[in-house]
Amino acid sequence: MKPQPAHVAIIMDGNGRWAKKHLLSVASGHRKGVETLREIIRFSSDNGIKVLTLFAFSTENWSRSKEEVSALMQLILEYFKSEIDELHKNNVIIRIIGDIDGLPKLQRETVLSAMQKTASNTGMYLNIALNYGGRGEILSAAKKLCKLYKDDKISLDDINEDNFQDLLYTKGQPPVDLLIRTSGEMRISNFLLYQCAYAEFIFNPVLWPDYTVEEYKKDLKAYMDRDRRFGGRTQ
């Protein structure tokens, strides 16, 4: 058996379809999705996953109905209020990846304070992608690099993959080993485009609110059974 992934990223898809199937509002689907998220975070942190990145809200999600966007924003507030103490107790380091400045004031303050509170913890990194887009992240890293070059802080010859990665939100973290997307959709949807260069992908058909720790264990095992070659050849 090969080692378990250091960095797992999850696209928590299917909340809307779950709600429709149960004749509930889409907000209830997301609310049920938060219960799954809680279980998966707890299991990951208890079982030695080093980095868990969850896609909670993309830069494209603002185009959803006003009701759905405000339900998601409300859930984010509730989540941090109710979970922060336990996450902190479990030594989790919270990092929000995405454009925090573009979040409403209350959400911005809440997530900034969660990051601050857990910054000196030493356990699992929990990256929550909020107002996140992969192209935007790469573009903003490129702009920062141009500025460093313009200010004579870096020369062209010194630019390499290591220092480019330091300009991404995931600075200091390993690349994604395993990307899981639930609900059967098979797309990356602008998530961690740079960090997923050699990630293994698992598309699990279960809708996110129905996804369980048992399913997660199966996906982790399927990952460990795979042969990763990173462009090389196995002997």
Contacts to ligand FPP by CB under 6 A: 12-17, 30, 33-34, 37, 56, 61, 72, 75-76, 79, 128, 183
If we measure between CA atoms, which residue out of 62, 75, 66 comes closest to residue 15? 75
202 neighbors 223 (Cβ within 8 angstroms): yes
- Tell me which of 13, 15, 177, 219 is the catalytic residue: 13
Tokens for 19, please give them.
Answer: 């709600």
The least distance separating ligand FPP from the CB of residue 114, rounded to whole angstroms, comes to 10
The CB-nearest residue to ligand FPP is 16
The least distance separating ligand FPP from the CB of residue 47, rounded to whole angstroms, comes to 20
Among residues 199 and 207, whose Cβ is nearest to ligand FPP? 207
Residues of the chain by 3-state class (helix, strand, coil), percent to 5: 50, 15, 35
Task: Decide if 61 is catalytic.
Answer: yes
- Tell me which of 46, 61, 90, 121 is the catalytic residue: 61
Task: Decide if 158 is catalytic.
Answer: no
Spatial distance between the Cα atoms of 121 and 123, rounded to a whole number of angstroms: 6
The least distance separating ligand FPP from the CB of residue 196, rounded to whole angstroms, comes to 18
Q: How many CB atoms lie within 10 A of CB 185?
A: 13
As annotated, the active-site residues are 13, 61
